[in-house]
Chains A and B, each alone.
Chain A
């Protein structure tokens, strides 16, 4: 494994301050070099690095930047710091400990995109992190790193931190734009894509925290060297958040292409004594689950896709063999039901319906036929929604029903046996005993 890049100095005391960050090479020659490169060359460099978006979709950062139209119009850069995907907490650590790395990446990305206005949209829950990033912005502005004519070049950039107020859908890029415009965070139809018509109708480049924070390092190392890390189509390092039933939960910077077993067991210490991995989400709660049999998959975009799932936000959630898959499915579905924006029909109704069915499974009022209906409802959501939040519930829940059907069926049997009357048909005596008829 190569040395850490983003996390190389992460626990350095005071790294969040401009001084220490500068001492560690921040805002150094690489920034000036980037700002003096022709825009096109910089975009080419980013493309050549093979850097793929770290926010979930895995789209090439350089290619996205190249979609930004030329010309003298108001263009925007937006950093997606909404980090709300369950299981994901790496941006938090990065922003809290090394906010200037993000800012430096934003300056370079904004320059590459031709944007003179930029915003960081941070989730409202990250109150402490917001304070830290605000402080870093103020320092950078005072030092002339953000503002008019940065480092004497003719590139100027405005930057503001914008705090959200608690809505997962505002991590979806167009929902984020609506929210940043002061509206309800409903996703927009695409096309038009943000690069054509984004914030305030202007061309907008949206990237994720980790994607942006990587950029200064690519400029410093050069695309070639960066692209040499990782595997084909998945270059570079990746921050992975590992949580759930592991001994050492936390963020780890790994080289893409490392086997998953090494991450879950090697880095995070695996599940507790005597326990085994039952199922795991490889890329946040939106990714279809894998089982203990899939631990040897290589942790990179293509291999995970081939395994029928996705790298997503790089958040691994591990559940050991004590876990009931019904509980995990219900938690997952409830989350998406709660976070569905409600704009489009399949997601709004489908997540709600799925939760109701899973609740019936839990209360012993379901039959195995309900599993077929649930699977079909998930099918009916996938690919039919406005954004992919609906799919993000249907894929993992669908995968759990498929991979653990036997367990679901057994659960249904047991729950029915424990509650033979169902809640709606309890005999009068039973209700009296519960005091329900008082």
Chain B
């Protein structure tokens, strides 16, 4: 049985009910807002050795990843500042911040993997469980939900629910309330998404095509009448 984390089994929890395994074989438990259900029930595995800084002699790192991380490290007076960019780089290669990915970053940055997992778990965009390669964030914060974001999310979930290649998540305000309800598809903001466009968007997500080309934020003019080019 799943742990009795707040609302995981709590029937009344409404919006807080967890999303049960959406993809066959996938065991990621998440709150409906997208956060991981934490590992409060996890014990240490006493057969493992303690996790110190991985020795470069025994932790191979792909050359391009090493180069990218070292480039980031050089930008800051304290090389630890490169933790987030380095984790993102590793995530791009591994699909998620897997223990192996974290070990590699740790070996290059000469930090413990514990340090890095603490950082990674703080941030919503760094994934500590295997997920689909395409990130689809649907903003369900106040403005978007006033404009129908919860329905948008539910419909997208119906459309994409079975696709193991997609990481569909609720997200907090994405800073695009002017195009509510909206979604970010691998960083491309689209909206306002009409109910009639959801199937099309889902198809584009599945196939990797550009999402709703006519609704992309970058092409949008300012709403401010004073902002028109003179």
Q: Find out whether A and B make contact in their complex, taking CB atoms under 8 A apart as touching.
A: yes
Chain A interfacial positions (CB closer than 8 Å to B): 3-4, 7-13, 74, 83-89, 91-93, 96-97, 117, 123-128, 160, 162-168, 179-185, 200, 241, 243-245, 248-253, 267-268, 281, 285, 315, 317, 319, 323, 327-328, 330-332, 334-335, 338-339, 341, 352, 355-356, 359-360, 362-363, 365, 422-424, 436
Interface size class of B (residues with CB under 8 A): 35 or more
Is B147 in contact with chain A by the CB < 8 A criterion?
yes
Residues of B within 8 A of A185 (CB): 122-123
Q: Kindly state the separation between the CA atoms of A96 and B137 in the bound complex, as whole angstroms.
A: 20
CB contacts (< 8 Å) of B228 on chain A: these are: 11
B230, CB-defined interface residue at 8 Å: yes
The 7 closest A-B pairs by CB, nearest first: A250-B223, A127-B187, A166-B124, A243-B177, A165-B123, A182-B83, A182-B80
Q: Residue on A with the closest CB to B192?
A: A249
B146 touches A10 (CB 8 A): no
By the criterion CB–CB under 8 Å, are A11 and B227 in contact?
yes
Minimal Cβ-Cβ distance residue in A for B218: A128
Q: List 27 A-B contacts (CB under 8 A).
A: A9-B227, A83-B175, A84-B175, A87-B142, A89-B177, A124-B125, A125-B137, A125-B187, A162-B84, A181-B81, A182-B76, A182-B78, A241-B178, A244-B147, A248-B223, A251-B178, A251-B224, A252-B224, A267-B224, A317-B177, A319-B146, A328-B142, A331-B142, A338-B172, A356-B6, A360-B12, A365-B12
Q: A166-B123, A166-B125, A251-B222 are in contact. Are A128 and B143 (CB under 8 A)?
A: no
State the CA gap A182–B84 with chains docked (Å).
6
Contact A11 B222 (CB under 8 A): yes
- Identify which of B12, B33, B85 gathers the most chain A CB atoms within 10 Å of its CB: B12
The answer to whether B142 touches A163, judged by C-beta atoms less than 8 angstroms apart, is no
What are the residues of chain A within 8 A of B224 when measuring CB–CB?
4, 7, 10, 250-253, 267
**Contact at A89–B226, with CB atoms within 8 Å?**
no
Q: Are A359 and B16 in contact (CB under 8 A)?
A: yes
**Across-interface contacts of A127 in B (CB, < 8 A):** 184, 186-188
Contact A128 B223 (CB under 8 A): no
Task: Please determine whether B173 and A84 come into contact, CB atoms closer than 8 angstroms.
Answer: yes
Q: Type the 1/0 row for B7-38, where 1 means its CB is closer than 8 Å to any CB of A.
A: 10011111110000000000000010101000
Question: Which of these, A3, A160, A241, A365, contacts B177 with CB under 8 Å?
Answer: A241
Complex Cα–Cα for A295 and B197 (A):
35
B176 at the interface (CB under 8 A from A): yes
CA distance A85 to B187 in the complex (A): 19
Q: Are A163 and B77 in contact (CB under 8 A)?
A: no
A96-B218, A182-B119, A250-B222 known; A244 and B188 CB under 8 Å? no
- Chain B nearest CB: distance from A250 CB in Å? 2
Chain A's nearest CB lies how many Å from the CB of B61? 18
Query: A residues within 8 A CB of B184?
Result: 125, 127
Chain B residues positioned under 8 Å from A245 (CB to CB): 146-147
Rounded to whole angstroms, the CA-CA distance of A331 and B230 in the bound complex is 41
> In the complex, are the beta carbons of B178 and A249 less than 8 A apart?
yes
Q: How far is the CA of A3 from the CA of B224 in the complex (A)?
A: 11
Q: Please tell me if B141 contacts chain A, counting CB pairs below 8 Å.
A: yes
Among B88, B179, B227: residue with most chain A CB under 10 A:
B227
Q: Is the CB of A11 within 8 A of B172?
A: no
Given known A162-B81, A165-B125, A181-B81, contact A92–B175 (CB-CB < 8 A) = yes
Question: Which of A200, A335, A356 is close to B141, meaning CB atoms less than 8 Å apart?
Answer: A335
A396 to chain B, nearest CB (A): 10
Contact B6 A128 (CB under 8 A): no
Q: Is the CB–CB distance between B77 and A200 below 8 Å?
A: yes
Cross-interface CB contact of B227 among A96, A253, A330, cutoff 8 Å: A253
- What separation, in Å, do the CA atoms of A341 and B119 have in the docked complex? 12
Question: With A and B bound together, what is the CA distance between A293 and B127 in angstroms?
Answer: 45
Interface contact A74-B77, CB-CB below 8 Å = yes
Alpha-carbon distance A128/B173, docked complex (angstroms): 16
The answer to the question of B96 belonging to the interface, with a C-beta cut-off of 8 Å to chain A, is no
User: Which residues from chain A contact B213 at a C-beta distance below 8 Å?
Assistant: none
Q: Which residue of B lies closest to A328 (CB)?
A: B142
Chain B residues with CB under 8 A of A249? 143, 177-180, 223
- 0/1 per residue, B103-128, Cβ < 8 Å to A? 00000000000000011001111100
Out of B76, B85, B223, which one reaches A163, CB within 8 Å? B85
CB nearest to A202 among chain B residues:
B77
* Nearest residue, chain B, Cβ from A362: B14
B48 within 8 A of A: no
CB under 8 Å from chain A, chain B span 195-230: 217-218, 221-230
Contacts of A4 in B (CB 8 A): 224, 226-227
Contacts of A13 in B (CB 8 A): 229
Most buried by B among A200, A243, A245, A281: A243
Check if A86 sits within 8 Å of B143, measured CB to CB: yes
- Report if B102 contacts A (CB, 8 A): no
Taking the closest CB of chain B, its distance from the CB of A349, in whole angstroms, is: 12
**A317 touching B82 by the CB < 8 A rule?**
no
**Cβ A165 vs Cβ B124 within 8 A:** yes
Of the residues A3, A85, A334, contact of B226 by C-beta under 8 Å: A3
A85 to B141: give the CA distance in the assembly, Å. Answer: 10
Does B153 interact with chain A (Cβ within 8 Å)?
no
Inter-subunit contact A125/B177 (CB<8 Å): no
Docked-complex contact B83 and A89, CB < 8 angstroms: no
Whole-angstrom distance between the alpha carbons of A84 and B145 in the complex? 16
Provided the pairs A84-B175, A250-B223, A251-B224 are in contact, do residues A244 and B88 lie with their beta carbons within 8 angstroms?
A: no
